[in-house]
Structure 1
Amino acid sequence: MSLPEGFLELYAGADRQGPGTTSDVVWALNESGLSGRIKVLDAGCGTGADSWTLAQALPEAQIEAVDTAAPFVEAAQARLRAFGPQVTVREGDMAGAPGPYDLIWCAGALYFLGVTEGLRAWREALEPGGWVAFSHPVHLSDSPSAAARAFWQGEGEIGTVEDLRARVAGAGYALRGERMLVGAPWKAYYDALRAAISEARATGRAAVLAPAIEGAETEIARWEAARDEIAYALMLVQPE
């Protein structure tokens, strides 16, 4: 996938690189019952927002965060340094993480591997009884509006929640919990992105980052046009 010039710099300045909240992480931990001296992978960690929440919620756990984008990794390392050896952050391929992990958390990044393909790849990286929690784009109906289709233009085939459940089952996993991310998590994400754009302008970086800023503002406008239809489904699953 080709990224506009300046994309990584702009998005590394945002608090998150996709929609989600601390309550989503807490929900997954409460539903799974995970605690104590466990090992967790934050796959596609971005700048480490969810790694921070995981480390706070699981003070005895070992958190490993991985991302392919060097600017995100650098930002995550700086952000998570306060946790010391409890959290390690590295640049790498999330599909090849060796494990074994009690939980693989993946906010908005499994999309790049493919749901079925990614879940199959992670099966051997899970402890017996291990969990995967991931968020993925979905349409809220079989007949999305033109505005909703325009938002996801160029992002490949986006199905319904029922389609996503079928992909989970096709990978040999059982669905243990489901939570929809609509409205507020997206607004918070785009508010942070707007703040990163404002910072770029205030520091004289807007000209250099112009292609990325233009793309981000187009995305925000498309979300505004269909905000009640734009959703992620957060799935909590286990191998069968």
Structure 2
Amino acid sequence: MSDFHPVFWQIHSDLPRQGPGNFEATKQAFSHVKGLPDSPQILDVGCGPGQQTVDLATLSNGNITAVDFYQPYLDELKQRFEAQGWTERLKVVCADMADLPLAAQSFDLIWSEGAIYIMGFDRGLNKWRSLLKPGGYIALSELSWLKPNPPEPVQQFWQEGYPSMRTLEENRAAMETAGYTLVDTFSLPESAWWTDYYTPLENKINQLKIEYEQDSGAMEILEAEQQEIDLYRHYSQYYGYVFYIGQIQEN
């Protein structure tokens, strides 16, 4: 984490979310997870400050293990659960999602919103599968191409930023190859990008540009963040976050 310029953490602190999403999308994805126990064991991988973790606790009576590599996000999440009186339902783990210290545990549901790209879609599906109980579910959102032949600015930006991004159809096939029965997929609406993520993020970028106007390194990061927002503003029909829900078969 010391390799990041301090402005990066300023940009990505005190936001409602650290990526596209909203309660309605989380609720829609959760509605496809059928037959869970009354108090399911849920693993939220790459939870960030955990708005979706709170949503999961609202939608279920589950006990949630939340994993992130950035301790301040976990501290913020704990405060959110304490405010709801749900402290006993949350366990936080500061760890790398590619090396989860959870070998002795198993879960009814693995959840990950906008985070599996960090270790790769296929690798995450295969590695996390061993943590699911028989008949368990996985639900995750992943940046995906929605339309062929994206314009050159879009293609170039994501070729540099996320070269392994694939189409919705390719990711559906990858889930089945990894041993999951595909339950459903759906694209997040544009409002899920703007309301709790890009709009407050853009406001913060504008404030920080004033503070860091003499810092070329910080300004480069701020401009890159703004470029991502502007790209989605103009080309949202070509790509988006897609929820993928799958289930492993009972033995």
Question: What's the TM-score once normalised by structure 2's chain length?
Answer: 0.84
Which consecutive residues of structure 2, in runs of 5 or more, have no partner in the other structure? Answer: none
Find the aligned partners of 2:10 and 2:192 in 1 and give their Cα distance: 22
* Structure 1: unaligned runs, 5 residues or longer: none
Alignment equivalent of 1:196, drawn from 204, 207, 212? 204
Report the equivalent of 2:56.
54
Give the superposition deviation at 1:186. 1.4
Which of 113, 117, 121 in structure 1 is aligned with 2:127? 121
1:1-240 superposed matches below 5 A: 3-33=4-34, 34=36, 36-58=38-60, 60-82=61-83, 83-95=86-98, 96=100, 97-98=102-103, 99-154=105-160, 155-188=162-195, 189-197=197-205, 200=208, 210-240=219-249
Paired with 2:236 and 2:183, the residues of 1 have a C-alpha distance of: 27
Pairwise CA distance, 1:106:
0.4
The one-letter amino acid of 1:44's match is: G
Determine helix, strand or coil for the equivalent of 1:177.
strand
How far apart in 2 are the matches of 1:194 and 1:74? 24
Q: Measure the CA separation in 2 of the matches of 1:197 and 1:228.
A: 24
| SS of match in other structure, 1:37 | coil
SS for the counterpart of 1:36 is coil
**Number of residue-to-residue matches in the alignment:** 238
Deviations 1:35-72 (A, max 9, x none): 621111110001111011011111x3101111012332
CA RMSD of aligned residues (A): 2.4
Contact 2:181 2:248 in 1 (8 A): yes
Q: Comparing 60-69 with 191-200, which one deviates more in the overlay?
A: 191-200
Question: How far off is 1:11 after superposition?
Answer: 0.7
**Deviation larger for 117-126 or 180-189:** 180-189
Query: Are the aligned partners of 2:66 and 2:92 in contact in 1 as well (CA < 8 Å)?
Result: yes
CA contact (8 A) 2:147 2:239 kept: no
| Contact kept in structure 2, 1:206 and 1:213, CA below 8 Å | no
Rate the CA distance shift 1:207–1:161 in 2: closer, same or farther, 3 A: same
% of aligned pairs identical?
Answer: 29
- Following superposition, the deviation at residue 170 of structure 1 comes to 1.8
Q: Is the 8 A contact 1:105 1:134 kept in 2?
A: yes
2:236 partner amino acid: R
Deviation sequence 1:105-139 (CA, Å, 0-9, x none): 10011112222211111122111110000111111
Against the structure 1 CA distance between its residues 206 and 37, is the aligned structure 2 distance closer, same or farther, given a 3 Å change threshold?
farther
CA distance in 2, matches of 1:168, 1:90: 26
CA displacement 1:191-232 (0-9 Å, x = unmatched):
121243356579x57877544433221211122221222311
Contact 2:97 2:119 in 1 (8 A): no
Going from structure 1 to structure 2, the CA distance change for 1:187 and 1:114 (only over 3 Å counts) comes to: same
Deviates more, 1:178-187 or 1:125-134: 178-187
Q: Work out whether residues 150 and 222 of structure 1, in 8 Å CA contact, stay in contact via their aligned partners in 2.
A: no
CA–CA distance in structure 2, aligned partners of residues 8 and 122 of structure 1: 28
CA contact (8 A) 2:41 2:63 kept: yes
Name which of structure 1's ranges 4-13 and 20-29 shifts more when overlaid on structure 2.
4-13
Deviation sequence 1:157-202 (CA, Å, 0-9, x none):
2221111112112211111011112422112220121243356579
Which deviates further from its counterpart, 183-192 or 77-86? 77-86
